Structure 1
Amino acid sequence: MFDLSKEFESFYKNKVVLPNDKQNDLREKKNLNISRLKDGLNEYNEENKTDYKIINTIVQGSMAMHTVVQNDSNDYDIDVAIIFEKENLNDKGPLAVRNIVTNALKRKCENFKKEPEVKTNCVRIEYQDGYHVDFAIYRRYKKENESEYTYEHAGSEWTLRDPKAINNWFKDEIKDKGQCLRKVIRFSKMFCKSRDYWVNMPGGLIQTVLCDEKIQNSYERIDEIFYHTMVEVKNRLDNDINVYNPTDTSLSLLSTKDHEKKVENFKNKLNDKLKKLDVLFESDCDKSKAKNAWYEFFNHDYWKEDTSNEKVQKYSSCYRNTEEFIEDLVNINEQYYVTVSCNVEANGFRLQPIKKLLRSLPKGWLPHGFSIKFNVEDTNVPKPYNIWWKVRNVGEIAQKRDMIRGQIEKHVGNCKQEHSDFFGNHYVECYIIKDNVCVAIDHIDVPIE
C-alpha cells in the first residue's frame, strides 16, 4: 500500500482534530449551561418551595471521548448527564423531572435559537450557530446492603442505565488498543460527513463501536490501520448490520428502521469509496495518484493541495509540527474543573489580569516585552494530582522560527511563566492529571501584537 502516513498525520492534526479554541468553546458552553441550570433550579426552588439539587454532572458522548472532528460544521453535540438523588425527586415521573429542568433553564437562557425543549430522552438547548447542549436526566439510589449506586435514566420511563458506562468502556478500549483507535474513529467521522448530501449516516457511537470491533492495529502506519479497519467494517456489515451497546450486548443500538437505514448507507458508501483506493496497491502508484485516491475517499481539499508549489514548500518546511495532544498521552474524563489566572506585567505596567489589560489597549493585543504569569487559582480535584502545561505558539512568525512548541510539559507545578515574544494568537492549556487520567482542563488565549 502506497505510504502516505506522514500526510495522514498532518491531515489528522490540522484538518481532523478540533482546534483548541473550538474545544475550549465547547467546554465553556458546557460549563455555562450547567451554571444556568443550577441557578435556574435555585430560583425554581425558591418560587415553588422545593429543594431539588443536582448532585453530579457527567460529560458524555464524543466530547467526553475526545472524538469530535472539524467536519461537524458547527453542529456540535454537547452531551451532559444531570444526576439527582432519587429520594430528592419525591417519586416524580421522568417527564415531570424533564419539565422541571426545562423550566429552570428557561429562566436563565435568553436570545437562543429557540427555548429549551423537552425531548423524549433529554432536555435540549440550541444555539443559533449550530451548537446544541443535551441534558440527559438521571436519578440514583443505593439498594439495601449495596455500596454502589444504581442509576436510572429519564426516558419515556425510568430505565436502568449507568451514565458512566460508555465513558468507562471507551477508556478501557483506548488503554487496550491504543490511541490509534481514537484516530480511526475521527477519520471515520470525517468520511461520514464528507459530503453535504450524505444526510442519513450513522452517529458517533455506532461508528465508535464498529471501529472498536474491527480495529486493525497490527499495522504500523496510521493510513494502513485506517484503510484495513474500514475494509473489515464493510465486510462485517455485509454479514450483519446490527450494532450492539458495548456495555450491554443484549441491547441493539439500531432501535428504529431509520437507524438501520443509516448503517446500510454507511456500508454502501464504504463499498463505493474503498474501490477508489485500489490504486494504492498498484505497482505504478505514485504520490499524486495516492493523494488523488484519498481525495476521492475523503472529499477534502487537503488532499488536493499543491505541495509542489515553491511558496508552500518553503512555508511548510520552516517548522516541525511539535504539537502534542493530551488525549494521545492519557485518558480524559473531565469530571472536575480547574481555573487558571493569567497576569501580565512590564515596565510601566503593574501586574494585572490579561483580560483587564487587553480591554484597555486600543487594538486589544498584548505588546511585546511583557512577562506573563499563569497560576492555578482554583480546582475541585481531590489531592494528590499532577499539573501539566502546554504552550502553543500560533502564526507565521512562530512557524518561520520553528517555535510553535505545543509539547506537553509534565509535573511542572501550579505556576507557569512566559514572555510575549512575537505576534500571534497563542494559547496556554493546563491539565490536572489524577491516577494517570486528565480530569480537568483550562485554556487561556494570549493574543500578542
Structure 2
Amino acid sequence: MDVAKTFEEFVGNLAVSNRSEISGRYKRITKTLNKKYYDNESEILHSLQVGSYGRGTAIDGLSDLDMVFELPWDIYSRFNKYDGNGQSALLQEVKEEIKKTYPKTDVKGDGQVVVVSFRNYVVEVLPSFKNDDGSYKYPDSNDGGSWKTTKPRDEINEIDKLNKDSNGNLKNLCKMVRSWRNKVGAPMGGLLIDTLCYKFLEEKSEYKYRSFVYYDWYVRDFFEYLGSQKKDQEFWYAPGSKQKVYKKGNFIAKAKRAHKKCKEAIEKEKNKTVNDIWKDVFGRAFPASEKSVEKSESSIYTYKNTEEFIEDQYNIDVRYELVIDCNVSQHGFRTEVLSIMLEKGFGLRVNKSLQFYVKKCNVPEPYTIKWKVRNVGSEAERKDQIRGEISVDGGAKSKKEKTSFRGGHFVECYAVRNGVCVARDRIDVPISTT
C-alpha cells in the first residue's frame, strides 16, 4: 500500500459534497434576518457559521449545521424586560421570521436555538448579541429562561491556528476521527472530537510536521491516546474558549479496538488487501484494496448476496450512544449474557436461542430502531442464508435469532432520527465450528 497516496485520497473522500446547497441556505436565512432586524438584505453580515462546519472539520453526511446570528442590542433590551420567559419569546419571533422564507419547512424554537429542518439535515440558528470581547450572549428558554454566553470565535480561531501550524494535519485528523466514529458508533460530539484531536497534536508535536507518509502511525497513536482517556472523566476544555465539552457516552473501548486494528494494518502494510482492515476502522470512505478478494470468490457454493448497508439508506452522523447486548438461552440451561461470554473467551454452539436487545440508548425521541443480521461461513453459504438485510424494529427494541449456522456472524443496530443515522452498535456472534 502507498500510505501517502491512500490516506490523501481518504481525506479527499471525506469532503462535504453539498457545500453549495448549504451555503445557499445559510445565506437565505441570513438575508431574511438582516431584512427584519437591520433593514438590509445582506447574505453575509451579522452571520457566523459555527459548529463542525464553521471550524472546517465536518465531513460529508453531517446532519447538524450551526449558525450564530448577531442581533442589535436594543432587541436584547426589549426581550430582557419581559415579565415571563423573554428568551422563549425571542426564539419564537426569530422562528416566525424564518418561517416566512420557508413556509413549508418545519421550523421551531427549541431550548436555545431555532431549528430549521430540511430533508437530510437541520440548520440550528442561535440568535445572539455580540459582546465587546467577541463572545455572544444568547437566550436559553429552559427553566423559566436565562441568558448564557458562548465563545465560538475563540474555538474557530484556535483550531485554525494549530491547523496552520501543523500543515493541515489537525483538521485532517478531526475528519478521519469523525469517519471512524460514524463507522463504529462511538458517541462523540464534533467539538469533543476536535478538542481531543487538538490536545493530542499539542502533546505529540512531532506529527505537526509529518506528511501523509506517516498517517498510518498518526492515526494509530491517536487511537492509543483516545483509548487511554480516564473512564470517569466527564468533560474536557475546548481549545480557545476553555468551555466545558461533555462526553455523550463511552468511546474508550471502541478506541482501543481501533488502535489494535491500526497496528494490524501497519504490520500487514505489504498485503494487497490491507485496505480492508483500514476500512474496518474508517468505513466506506477509505479507498478499497488494490485487489480486494470477495469471500464469494473463494466459496464453492452459489448464494445470493442480499446484504444491505445503512450508508446506502441514510446519512451517517453519529451523535449519541447506542449499546446492544444479547441473552443466550437453551432449554434446560440458565440464560447467559453474550457480552460477558465473549469477555471470558467463550463461543456459542448451535441451537441456542438469542434475544438481542437495546441495552442503552440516549437518542432523543422520536427515533426508529433498525436491525441487521449477517450470517458468515460455508454452512450459511451452502444453505443460501447469508442474509444481511436491514429491517425495522417491531417496537420492542429487540430481535430474536437462533444459532443455526456454524461460523462467524454479527448483528448491527441503528437509531435513525430525522432521516439520519445518529447512533449505531455492533456485536459479533462467534458460533463454534466444532
What's the TM-score bracket when you normalise by the shorter of the two chains? 0.5 to 0.7
Map of 1:62 onto structure 2: 52
2:235 paired with 1:242 = yes
Map of 1:208 onto structure 2: 194
- Tell me how far apart the structure 1 counterparts of residues 173 and 153 of structure 2 sit (CA, whole Å): 23
Q: What SS is found at the alignment partner of 2:188?
A: coil
How many angstroms does 1:62 deviate by?
1.6
- Tell me how far apart the structure 1 counterparts of residues 169 and 110 of structure 2 sit (CA, whole Å): 35
Map of 1:5 onto structure 2: 4
Identify the match of residue 32 of structure 2 among 16, 32, 36: 36
Identify the match of residue 159 of structure 1 among 123, 131, 148: 148
**Unpaired segments ≥5 residues, structure 2:** 80-85, 294-434
Map of 2:113 onto structure 1: 122
Map of 1:106 onto structure 2: 99
- Tell me how far apart the structure 2 counterparts of residues 211 and 38 of structure 1 sit (CA, whole Å): 36
Distance change >3 Å, CA 288–CA 305, structure 1 → 2: closer
* Amino acid paired to 2:51: G
Distance change >3 Å, CA 218–CA 287, structure 1 → 2: farther
Identify the match of residue 68 of structure 2 among 71, 78, 81: 81
How many angstroms does 1:26 deviate by?
1.2
* Amino acid paired to 1:236: Q
How many angstroms does 1:55 deviate by?
6.7
Q: What SS is found at the alignment partner of 1:193?
A: helix
2:265 paired with 1:293 = no
Map of 1:139 onto structure 2: 129
Distance change >3 Å, CA 83–CA 271, structure 1 → 2: same
With a CA cutoff of 8 Å and minimum separation of 6, indicate the structure with the bigger relative contact order. Answer: 2
**Identical columns (%):** 16
Map of 1:370 onto structure 2: none
TM-score by length of 1: 0.55
Map of 1:172 onto structure 2: 161
Deviations 1:388-440 (A, max 9, x none): xxxxxxxxxxxxxxxxxxxxxxxxxxxxxxxxxxxxxxxxxxxxxxxxxxxxx
Answer yes or no: is the 8 Å Cα contact 2:189–2:248 preserved in 1.
no
Distance change >3 Å, CA 260–CA 306, structure 1 → 2: same
Identify the match of residue 280 of structure 1 among 252, 259, 265: 265
* Amino acid paired to 2:171: R
Deviations 1:309-353 (A, max 9, x none): 9xxxxxxxxxxxxxxxxxxxxxxxxxxxxxxxxxxxxxxxxxxxx
How many angstroms does 1:12 deviate by?
1.4
How many angstroms does 1:103 deviate by?
1.4
Distance change >3 Å, CA 301–CA 25, structure 1 → 2: closer
How many angstroms does 1:27 deviate by?
1.0
Distance change >3 Å, CA 291–CA 150, structure 1 → 2: closer
2:205 paired with 1:226 = no
Name the Cα RMSD after superposition.
2.9
2:241 paired with 1:252 = no
Total equivalences in the alignment: 273
Distance change >3 Å, CA 30–CA 288, structure 1 → 2: same
How many angstroms does 1:294 deviate by?
0.6
* Amino acid paired to 2:55: M
Map of 1:94 onto structure 2: 87
**Unpaired segments ≥5 residues, structure 1:** 46-53, 143-147, 310-449
